[in-house]
Amino acid sequence: ELKVEQNPLFLSMQEGKNYTIYCNYSTTSDRLYWYRQDPGKSLESLFVLLSNGAVKQEGRLMASLDTKARLSTLHITAAVHDLSATYFCAVGNYGGATNKLIFGTGTLLAVQP
């Protein structure tokens, strides 16, 4: 069974600092999703990474995918308070199940002023 491990579970960081959230998964996949969730809101799609070596950036967030290492990272540059939210990675397109996502536990990010 595919397992997705996300760490850290909780991240408290100061504004202006950099940090990385890690997403490891246990079986072959070439599709990795990152979502952001604010309290009581929907999961907002941030990135869809479709191939090995894929890198995407949006503002202060940058996501990458290494399918050989079965690892994706979400890097936060010069954090600001508005980035406080829960971030989820999810793996898809594995074992023929192209439409079922397996989610990580989520990382609660709190950016302190």
Tokens at 57, concatenated: 């950036």
Residue 107 neighbours by CB distance under 10 Å = 21
Chain residues binding another protein by CB under 8 A are: 4, 31, 33, 35, 40-45, 48, 50, 88, 90, 97, 99-106
CB of 73 to another protein, least distance (A): 19
CB of 8 to another protein, least distance (A): 16
Tokens at 31, concatenated: 């599709």
Q: Minimal CA–CA distance to 61: which of 39, 91, 97, 34?
A: 34
> Which residues sit opposite 79 in a β-bridge?
none
CB of 41 to another protein, least distance (A): 6
Decide whether 31 or 70 has the Cβ nearer to another protein. Answer: 31
Decide whether 83 or 102 has the Cβ nearer to another protein. Answer: 102
